[in-house]
Chains A and B, each alone.
Chain A
Amino acid sequence: MPNSKSAYSFSNKKEKFDTHIIVVWVDNEAGVLARVVGLFSGRGYNIESLAVAQVDEKLKISRITIVTTGTPQVVNQIKLQLRKLVPVHKVADFKREDKAVIFKEMALFKIVGPKNKLEGALKACKKYNPVLLDKTKKSNVIQITALRREIDKMSKDLKKFGLVSVSRTGAVAMTRGADIFK
């Protein structure tokens, strides 16, 4: 490192990054998503994907699922900072490797091509519960639900079958078994 010419110190630490799925229950009010997302951008945290929707109409609670990467210290900060926000009710944190939690993303693929290609595409998706949402002579829209890396792979694999458009959600998560996160 060259001689420091700064009023601040330099970091030379390289720590391992883990992928975490953070689930946040918030009041569904104006600006709440901006608060959550702004906290991430303002403090330099990553967002890999984001899914948000109201889950309780009566109590007006929305559930935000954020996939993020960071060192253990950063992930801990993310949780603690989120809990400080006034509209935040609770925050859950799961590691991607966590077997006790289900993670799913949904993707829509539009395939354009001759019949054999359309069929090939549908066949390639077989592992991921494909649903044929729209069908014409020349095109298909296929919906699959799978893990992020699986969808990544499919987006690549389907190119040869005439994939012209991909639309996908962020991950959503839920614990296995009868327990719910409190």
Chain B
Amino acid sequence: MSKLYSGAEIVFKCMEDQNVDHIFGYPGGAVLPIYDELQNFKSIKHVLVRHEQGAGHAAEGYARSSGKPGVILVTSGPGATNVVTALTDAYMDSIPLVCISGQVPTHLIGTDAFQECDTTGITRPCTKHNWLVKDINDLASTIHKAFEVATTGRPGPVLVDIPKDIQFQKTKYNRPKKEKKLNGKSHNHFNQNSIDELIELMSKSSKPIFYTGGGVINSGPKASELLRELVYATGFPITSTLQGLGSFPGDDNQFLGMLGMHGTYEANNAMHDCDLMINIGARFDDRITGKIDEFSPKSKKVHIDIDPSSINKNVKVDLAIVGDVKTVLSSTLKSLKQKKSKFLKSNKQKTSKWWEKIQKWRSVRSLDYIGSEETIKPQYAIERLYELTKDKDSYITTEVGQHQMWAAQHYKFNKPNRWMTSGGLGTMGYGLPAAVGVQVAHPKKLVIDIAGEASVLMTIQEMSTAVQYNLPIKIFILNNQYMGMVRQWQELLHDKNYSESYTAALPDFVKLAEAYNCVGIRAKTPEELDDKIIEMLNTDRPVIFDCMVDKVENCFPMIPSGKPHNQMILGPKDQENKKITGKGKSLV
């Protein structure tokens, strides 16, 4: 007779078979049997966070930087509700997470027991799927199914809720049936005709643009390679969403920078004026499109996406190709080579006027800012950070706000999986725990959280986690003492009524670092900035870097709400000009 395993053991047996090496979690009453078994499974390392939200974001950082699903273990009730923000964040940004939560014993479910909550009910809208396991014999198959759902198709979070009595019960464990790898085939619903049509559109176009997103990253590093090949083979310009940064080299001449609300002038104008838009793994989010009825009015639109429900959701497209980015790109390249081997040459002429136009937009230099010798401009801080770290293959996470947009604008990414930021949900407090997760996945690499002082305080307790596991993450805080993006919107839209966007009584971040037993560094002037950054990079311990920046700098360029791509505010001067003519106000 084969051996009987407890539910708790089965949880770990499943994880072993799924090649899980790290889990992020926090113990509690309803998961104690699982924690009791932890020591018997040496290949699985547990990272103890300080708050379940931190576990979730750490798992996200781990998943985004490694391509593997992130695994979370939390208790019932508050443990589960605390992780909801991270699950929602992962759902919005399509990050594969498997969350195991404890639940009160089955006979107590529905009695308002201590630390009971309707976990599957609460997490239903923020997971791809979730399960409440009521029978020990379903446990193993459910967990394996959970990993499959999280990682296939458009990735996302899942949750398995396991009552405490199920964790104690015993049954046989069967290894998962080795299913034939589908290689994403079941998610490819396109045929050669669509590819031919795409190539036809490409060869006809004189003002083309690639608009790429997080789907390229999610499709794996190979997809980024193929994207580069395709972009070079066509000579077309390319822009990327916030989530897509890194899939194409940020310093390449064909790259127009990020698009959208805080995208570059050239990227947004090119999107507006193009005659062919090829969307690869992006979803026409409202931060990207601006005013939807004036979005890129003259273009044919192609949309490549693995999720059929992304097609025609916000913007109607002319050609939809439902499939995995990697597969679609490789088919496209193959056909392109067969049919139009001299594509680049024949198209150079055709797109030369388009490139001239782009150069003209480029010459506006929309990311420029007014420098200062007295105060550190936040953009300058990011630029210096980039210059001093660009040779190090560094991993960048961010919180949410102005600093996030400045990081996206001024830090250039050359590889996928190096940029972890909360885009869809916009979760302040994401970056620090995400950095913990990234560092766990890549112990030897440089991991920096570009942060704002308001965001970072939302999950600052995770510094304690970083110290416990000797994770030398660098928290680079652009400290302007305001919730900068809130303040910026209040300036632009609410007559400078800075209602509750100033944080009085901020902690002394250097002393805070000392309290956590890590290293605190402060930079106050542009002059000392480089030396301090180098000091940070030379410290092989967690660092909180308090970079005191200009308090009232705004993030430009910017598409004001309800405006199309070609009506950007370029900078403070532009803002003033428009105010004088009375148009500035109606613009925002």
- Of A9, A13, A42, A73, which is within 8 A of B290 by CB? A9
B286 within 8 A of A: yes
| Cβ-defined contact, B562 with A77, below 8 A | no
A92 to chain B, nearest CB (A): 16
List residues of A (77-91) whose CB comes within 8 Å of B's CBs: 77, 80-81, 83-86
| Cβ-defined contact, A80 with B309, below 8 A | yes
Inter-chain residue pair count (beta carbon < 8 A): 55
| Cβ-defined contact, B120 with A84, below 8 A | no
- Of B132, B316, B562, which is within 8 A of A10 by CB? B562
* Nearest CB in chain B to that of A82: its residue: B309
A8 within 8 A of B: yes
List residues of B (123-161) whose CB comes within 8 Å of A's CBs: 124-125, 128-129, 132, 149
Complex CA gap A95/B121 in Å reads: 32
- Of B308, B313, B561, which is within 8 A of A83 by CB? B308
Select the stretch in A28-36, A62-70, A101-109, A129-137 that faces chain B: A28-36
* Nearest CB in chain A to that of B129: its residue: A86
B251 within 8 A of A: no
Complex CA gap A6/B588 in Å reads: 8
A182 within 8 A of B: no
B225 within 8 A of A: no
| Cβ-defined contact, B493 with A5, below 8 A | yes
| Cβ-defined contact, B562 with A6, below 8 A | yes
A79 to chain B, nearest CB (A): 9
Residues of A within 8 A of B124 (CB): 31, 34-35, 38
B584 to chain A, nearest CB (A): 11
A46 within 8 A of B: no
A7 within 8 A of B: yes
Complex CA gap A145/B187 in Å reads: 42
Complex CA gap A76/B129 in Å reads: 21
Residues of A within 8 A of B493 (CB): 5-6
B550 within 8 A of A: no
B162 to chain A, nearest CB (A): 15
Complex CA gap A86/B154 in Å reads: 13
User: What is the interface size of chain B, counting residues whose CB is below 8 A from a CB of the partner?
Assistant: 29
Residues of B within 8 A of A86 (CB): 128-129, 149
A3 within 8 A of B: yes
| Cβ-defined contact, B586 with A3, below 8 A | yes
Complex CA gap A8/B585 in Å reads: 16
Complex CA gap A146/B121 in Å reads: 36
Type the 1/0 row for B85-114, where 1 means its CB is closer than 8 Å to any CB of A. Answer: 000000000000000000000000000000
A4 within 8 A of B: yes
A131 to chain B, nearest CB (A): 39
Complex CA gap A81/B121 in Å reads: 19
| Cβ-defined contact, B307 with A84, below 8 A | yes
A44 to chain B, nearest CB (A): 13
Complex CA gap A31/B129 in Å reads: 11
A36 to chain B, nearest CB (A): 11
- Of B309, B561, B585, which is within 8 A of A7 by CB? B561
| Cβ-defined contact, B309 with A9, below 8 A | no
| Cβ-defined contact, B125 with A77, below 8 A | no
Complex CA gap A86/B121 in Å reads: 16
Residues of B within 8 A of A9 (CB): 286, 290-292, 561-562
Residues of A within 8 A of B369 (CB): none
A54 to chain B, nearest CB (A): 19
Complex CA gap A5/B316 in Å reads: 27
B511 within 8 A of A: no
| Cβ-defined contact, B129 with A4, below 8 A | no
Point out which of B128, B291, B309, B493 has the most chain A C-beta atoms below 10 A from its C-beta.
B309
List residues of A (41-74) whose CB comes within 8 Å of B's CBs: 42, 73
List residues of B (277-306) whose CB comes within 8 Å of A's CBs: 286, 290-293
- Of A6, A30, A80, which is within 8 A of B561 by CB? A6
Complex CA gap A154/B307 in Å reads: 45
| Cβ-defined contact, B586 with A5, below 8 A | no
Residues of B within 8 A of A38 (CB): 124-125
List residues of B (402-434) whose CB comes within 8 Å of A's CBs: none
- Of A4, A5, A34, A42, which is within 8 A of B121 by CB? A34
| Cβ-defined contact, B293 with A13, below 8 A | yes
| Cβ-defined contact, B125 with A31, below 8 A | no
* Nearest CB in chain A to that of B156: its residue: A84
- Of A3, A8, A10, A31, which is within 8 A of B120 by CB? A31
B341 within 8 A of A: no
B175 within 8 A of A: no
Residues of B within 8 A of A10 (CB): 562
B365 within 8 A of A: no
Complex CA gap A144/B211 in Å reads: 56
| Cβ-defined contact, A4 with B588, below 8 A | yes
| Cβ-defined contact, A30 with B132, below 8 A | yes
B345 within 8 A of A: no
A5/B494 contact (C-beta < 8 A), A10-B562, A31-B120, A35-B124 known: yes
Residues of B within 8 A of A3 (CB): 585-586, 588
Residues of B within 8 A of A30 (CB): 132
| Cβ-defined contact, A81 with B129, below 8 A | no
* Nearest CB in chain B to that of A80: its residue: B309
B489 within 8 A of A: yes
Complex CA gap A13/B291 in Å reads: 12
8 contacts between A and B (CB under 8 A): A7-B561, A31-B120, A31-B132, A38-B124, A38-B125, A81-B309, A85-B129, A86-B149
Q: Closest 10 interchain pairs by CB?
A: A80-B309, A4-B562, A86-B129, A9-B562, A5-B493, A42-B125, A80-B308, A81-B309, A4-B561, A9-B291
Known: A31-B120, A80-B309, A81-B309. 6 other contacts (CB 8 A): A6-B493, A31-B124, A31-B132, A73-B313, A84-B309, A86-B149
Which B residues fall within an 8 A CB radius of A?
A: 120-121, 124-125, 128-129, 132, 149, 286, 290-293, 307-309, 311-313, 316, 489, 493-494, 560-562, 585-586, 588
